[in-house]
Structure 1
């Protein structure tokens, strides 16, 4: 499945949550990479929300939370046909459904020179 989106600024909370050992260890174990401490926020169209909501649960990798840290569903994806990573869907979130969070090993804004408003393509496995 291919989805186009636009880079948007986040709420600044991704860095905090991505730095937690409870998540980092499981990302390494279950997704085969240790992500950069931060997420790339991608705004998507409403019709793409419907497509994502139709993805069967068995396609997602479950990352277990503990105490105040909730569970996270992850879905392997590739950004712009060049960077492998995953979309993360925290069970407890304040993000609207039209904003996806993508994680990868590097700081994607720096590596790919991305800025708010840039169009990107996600390929979801």
Structure 2
């Protein structure tokens, strides 16, 4: 599935979580990259929510947390037909369901010169 969405500013909490060794090592082993400590937040139209929720609910890729942290489901994905990464679905999140969080090895806002309101596509 390929969806379009709008880049938006997140809550700034992902940097802490994506700096934890157990998350970093799991993404490195399972996705083939060490994630940049932050996510690219993308708001997707409501028309995609049923499919996204189905993917999330059936996702078997799970990083089990250490004490005090939440589990994270993830699915490999490609951003703008060029950046290999993953969509993460944290068990503990303050985002609404139409937010997708994309991770990759690079700081994507800098690499792709993205700003809030820009349209990106994600394929998974």
Structure-1-length-normalised TM-score: 0.94
Structure 2 spans left out of the alignment, 5+ residues? none
Residue 9 of structure 1 corresponds to 9
Match of 1:66 in 2: 66
Moved more, 61-70 or 6-15: 61-70
Shift of 1:55: 2.1
Give secondary structure in 2 for the equivalent of 1:29.
helix
| C-alpha distance in 2 between matches for 1:22 and 1:69 | 10
Asked if structure 1 preserves the Cα contact closer than 8 Å seen for 2:56 and 2:73, the reply is no
- Count of residue pairs brought into register by the alignment: 124
Task: Report 1:1-125 matches (<5 A).
Answer: 1-55=1-55, 59-124=59-124
How far apart are residue 37 of structure 1 and its match?
A: 0.7
Structure 2 counterpart SS, 1:70: coil
Provide the C-alpha distance between the structure 2 equivalents of 1:12 and 1:75, rounded to a whole number of angstroms: 21
Pair 115,21 (structure 1): closer, same or farther in 2 beyond 3 Å: same
Secondary structure of 1:55 counterpart: helix
When residues 62 and 77 of structure 1 are mapped into structure 2, their CA distance, relative to the original with a 3 A threshold, is same
Query: What is the CA distance between 1:68 and its match in structure 2?
Result: 1.0
* RMSD over aligned Cα atoms: 1.3
Question: 1:32 & 1:57 partners in 2: Cα distance?
Answer: 23
Q: Judging changes above 3 Å, is the alpha-carbon distance between structure 1 residues 114 and 29 closer, same or farther for their aligned structure 2 residues? A: same
